[in-house]
Amino acid sequence: MRLSSTPVKLGAYAGGLAVAFAAAFTVGSALDPVTDTAAAAPAGSAEHEETDAGGHDDGHGAADAATPPAGLAVSERGYTLAPAAGSLPAGSSVPFAFTVTGPDGAPVQEFTEEHEKELHLIVVRRDLAGFQHVHPARDAAGTWSVPLDLAQGGSYRVFADFTPAALGEGLTLGTDLSVAGDYAPEPLPAPAATAAVDGYEIRLAGTPVAGRESELTFTVSRNGREVTDLEAYLGAFGHLVSLRTGDLAYLHTHPAQEAHGDETGGPAVQFATTFPTNGSYRLFLDFAHGGRVHTAEFTVTVGAPAAPELPASDPAAHDAIPHED
């Protein structure tokens, strides 16, 4: 996906006493027209924390990348995420079915495995609660299915992360899912350097900055002792999903270190992540220990890149310029 714009065309003519200028500027988006996102409220507005919008927020202006992040469109490169139903009843184990259709309109049958799975499905409520990372099963007709925990009503965002074999490149498509029941949005937790889950404490170190690679290190402890036998899970010791607040733009990051079979590691798991814009993000770290997968959640504030330093003016050079009296 790329944003493109036509050049600004300036026309000028002299009329003796006046000069007039005409200009035209057009911005086009390469996002597939089949999309279920809209422009977000500006940072600081009352709608900012609760909007279902799909634009940029949190002051994401100056740091915007040339290529929009993933997960904002339901279609891309001719591939479409097509749920069997756009609304579901509430429940702790609700069947969810969908297909991924290709450029020919038929369900895609051939995928390239990434991190030991053909497709990763991420589900989260619009307030960034209820995160789930699951792996559906695909039948012979190309329909994927998986039970979801939808105990709380509200609007959910569903992301399908996959690589079509015919394309040879990874895609992340997103769509909204409505779940029956009262929706009581939870406030976004404040940024913190530690998180607790299932008796584990996870410490986060690193200073994320928009527009460039940021190193994040998560250190896992339990009962005051660092965990040095993290288990291999999907080819690594950890998986990191980052979602931008507001539009829920999606980043799925894996550590550079691979892990397979009976390999163990820890206590630290490192990621190199490039956040597309400054603002607030919710981070979800999956790690395996004790035969179970655990998910630690963090809120982080990504800073804007430093402004480039302007060269200092040279008074001597200024004086050397001839001036007309």
DSSP secondary structure letters along 203-215: EEE---BTTSEEE
Residues 219 and 171 both lie in one domain = no
Specify the pTM: 0.76
- What is the per-residue pLDDT across 70-125, written as a single tens digit (0 to 9) for each? 999 999 999 999 999 999 999 999 999 999 999 999 999 999 999 899 999 999 99
Instruction: Look at residue 242 and tell me if it is in a domain.
Output: yes
Q: Buried b vs exposed e over 150-179: b needs ≥16 C-beta within 10 Å? A: bebbbebbbbbbbbbeebeeebbbbbbbeb
pLDDT cut 90: percent of the chain above it = 70
Q: Does the pLDDT at position 58 exceed 80?
A: no
In a domain, 67, yes or no: no
Positive or negative CA dihedral for 258, 260, 264, 267?
Answer: positive
pLDDT recorded at residue 9? 37
Q: Which domain holds residue 283?
A: 194-302
Segment 200-214 mean pLDDT: 96
Q: Are residues 157 and 208 in the same domain?
A: no
Residue 41 CA to residue 247 CA, distance in Å, equals: 10
Tell whether 143 is covered by a domain. Answer: yes
Given a contact cutoff of 8 angstroms between Cβ atoms, the answer to whether 32 and 98 are in contact is: no
Average pLDDT, the chain: 82
Please tell me the distance from the alpha carbon of residue 121 to that of residue 197, in angstroms, as a whole number: 21
Same domain, 98 and 170: yes
Cα 35 to Cα 287: distance, rounded to the nearest angstrom: 32
My answer on whether 201 and 139 are in the same domain is: no
Q: Report d(CA 268, CA 257) in Å as an integer.
A: 11
Winning range, highest mean pLDDT, from 8-22, 56-70, 300-314: 300-314
Asked whether residue 167 falls in the same domain as residue 263, the answer is no
Domain membership flag for residue 215: yes
State the total domains in the chain.
2
Q: What is the pLDDT of residues 225-281, one digit of tens each?
A: 999 999 999 999 999 999 999 999 999 887 878 999 999 999 999 999 999 999 999
